[in-house]
Amino acid sequence: MNKTELESIIEALLFYSGDAIPGSRLCEVCDSEEITIHIAIYRLNEIYEKTNSGMEIREVGDGYQMCTVPRHTPYIQKLRQKPIKKILTQALIETLSIVAYSQPITRTQIEDIRGVRCEHALGKLIEYHLIEEVGRLSVIGRPVLFGTTHDFLRHFGFKNLEELPRIKEKLLQRFKEEVREEMNYYEEDKDV
């Protein structure tokens, strides 16, 4: 299966970039329509799979990124001679779940939902590039709002946040009520 010129160009751009390139930017640079770019990437992934390549192109957010296939991670870690140990403890998983499903969200809101302090968990999740600061809440003190990153999507194999597993409606409603109560608390403080 030979690559077309467009496929070769896309492959070179993604390899060169190292990061995700928005689909709209690929369309602009390649002077092609979105569907043409999508088909070219699909064909490239077919070629990679058929040839047992160590590379693949993943859809991340609204863009695409050249990535190594997960089965080669142990060898990449050996090459780095420093194994990457990103241990997600129960506390980190709970905190990450709250951020993923309720973003953007403040540290105080997360602590209210979990019932415990979470500075350490947030610090580790930021260190692991799974969450990041996405803004500030427009209230007194302007607390930081947290949200998930592209690395979060890539790590868990999601194209976007809509692919997150659905949680029970009753539990989701409880989360939303708690966040709403917290927001009302902040609004009352703002008026004082």
135 and 187: one domain? yes
Residue 82 lies in a domain: no
Residue 172 lies in a domain: yes
- Of 44, 75, 106, the residue at which a domain comes to its end is 75
Residue 103 lies in a domain: yes
147 and 116: one domain? yes
61 and 20: one domain? yes
Residue 83 lies in a domain: no
64 and 94: one domain? no
115 and 181: one domain? yes
115 and 50: one domain? no
95 and 175: one domain? yes
Predicted confidence at residue 125, as pLDDT, reads 93
Residue 66 lies in a domain: yes
141 and 67: one domain? no
Structure tokens of 124?
Answer: 């580790």
Predicted confidence at residue 62, as pLDDT, reads 87
Element at 47 (helix H, strand E):
helix 34-50
101 and 67: one domain? no
98 and 68: one domain? no
| Number of residues written out for the chain | 192
Predicted confidence at residue 28, as pLDDT, reads 93
- Of 23, 50, 75, the residue at which a domain comes to its end is 75
Looking at the structure of the chain, the number of domains it has is: 2
Residue 29 lies in a domain: yes
Mention every residue, 6+ apart, whose C-beta is less than 8 A from residue 84. 77
- Of 75, 106, 125, the residue at which a domain comes to its end is 75
CATH code of the domain covering residue 70: 1.10.10.10
Range of the domain at 160: 90-191
Residue 63 lies in a domain: yes
184 and 94: one domain? yes
| Model confidence, pTM | 0.54
Strand order, beta sheet including 144-148: 105-106, 144-148, 131-136
Element at 136 (helix H, strand E):
strand 131-136
Kindly give the confidence (pLDDT) of every residue in the chain, 192 residues in length, as a single tens digit, with 9 standing for 90 and above: 578 899 999 999 999 988 889 999 999 999 999 999 999 999 999 999 999 999 999 988 889 999 988 888 888 877 877 655 678 888 899 999 999 988 999 999 999 888 888 999 999 999 999 999 999 988 888 899 999 999 898 888 888 888 888 877 777 677 677 767 766 665 555 555
Residue 137 in contact with residue 186, Cβ under 8 Å? yes
